[in-house]
Amino acid sequence: MSTSGLYQLTDEHDAIRAAVRDIAEREIAPYAAEVDAESRYPIEAQKALTAAGFHATHIPEAYGGEAADAVATCIVIEEVARVDVSASLIPAVNKLGSMPIILSASEELKQAVLPSIARGDAMISYGLSEREAGSDAAAMRTRARRDGDTWVLNGTKAWITNSGVSEWYTVMAVTDPEKRASGISAFVVHRDDPGFTVGPKERKMGIKGSPTCELYFTDCTIPADRIIGAEGTGFKTALRTLDFTRPTIGAQAVGIAQGALDAAVEYTRERKQFGQAVSDFQGVQFMLADMAMQIEAARHLVYVAAARGETGNSGGKVDPDLGRLCAAAKAFASDVAMKVTTDAVQLFGGAGYTQDFPVERMMRDAKITQIYEGTNQIQRMVIARSLLR
């Protein structure tokens, strides 16, 4: 694997981290437990992030965006996830939903959708998975057929993040069933389009503040110019999108892990057993040290993958190692998040198993990072195939 795409943190990156951390601690963290307990959308976080311009930092300046580089966007997501993972899905899913448009849509479609997201007037979600087409996304059954000046969509999408609160949806549908993956096209659907409805919220283990629902298309009719790119290129666009967004899930995982470590350090310093602070015991110190090492390794891998996505997936030339690196960043960071949050609960002892402290929520939230945007088993397949190619 080559080393091109190495990143350099700048003063601007440091300033972004400081600004987002301040917002997260003042305006997002105080509501995190309530958002989880009530399974309600973190509207306070959305307002705070939008007011500061951190809700969709990746959108190019040509469409009214901040045009932040990929590492800066990862820093935003990481710092929000440090206090509330549900809230971090606001910038993360705005990027996931809009990247197919940025990568492949016509200029007219970009102008029709992206400025509203950049302004914070609208959000966008991503519709790829179905109940019987998760890891095997090419097996999707949602169909789209051309009807004059429109496309008509029929089918169902599952596990769609921030569904119901988003105005726009990037949706993959089969336009030529005979071609399997090469017969899939990408479309942009608006929540007001006729024939489009959002199902009830899923009852989830974690990220309860982010609504997850099915999307229903019943002769859903959209203008013909809402297709993203050429017909039959949707699956390629979806895969290319993941090279830009899997590092953001890694960043989210790093943020969860860092928040859990911060809480564990503070708690073990203050709690006393056998006449001394719990943090004075060598066994506890070794756990904390391992947690810190793993987080730092994950953070750097995520930043390298994010930077490589911009340098190795531009100008029409795709770095053959890019998919492997992005898969590694997502899988490693999410595995670290699961381990670190589990260890944090252990270090809190019985208190960690209660909702009086945030680590049990962090542990529940961490689990999804090993599953969505491609399970970690799929990531390992991507890595192995690249190595054996």
Q: Which residues neighbour 250 within 8 Å (Cβ) at sequence distance 6 or greater? A: 74, 298, 301, 302, 305, 329, 330, 332, 333, 334
Phi, psi of 193 (to 5 degrees): -65, 140
Tokens of 358: 């945030």
Which DSSP state fits 136? S
Which DSSP state fits 202? P
Give the span between the Cα atoms of 47 and 70, in whole angstroms: 22
Would you put residue 207 in left (φ > 0), alpha (ψ -120 to 50) or beta? left
Give which of 120, 137, 132 is closest to 51, Cα–Cα: 120
Provide the pairing of β-strand 124-127 with 168-174: parallel
**Of the residues 27, 78, 79, 373, which is catalytic?**
373
Q: Is 66 a catalytic residue?
A: no
3-class SS shares of the chain: helix, strand, coil, % to 5: 60, 15, 25
Positions annotated as catalytic residues are 373
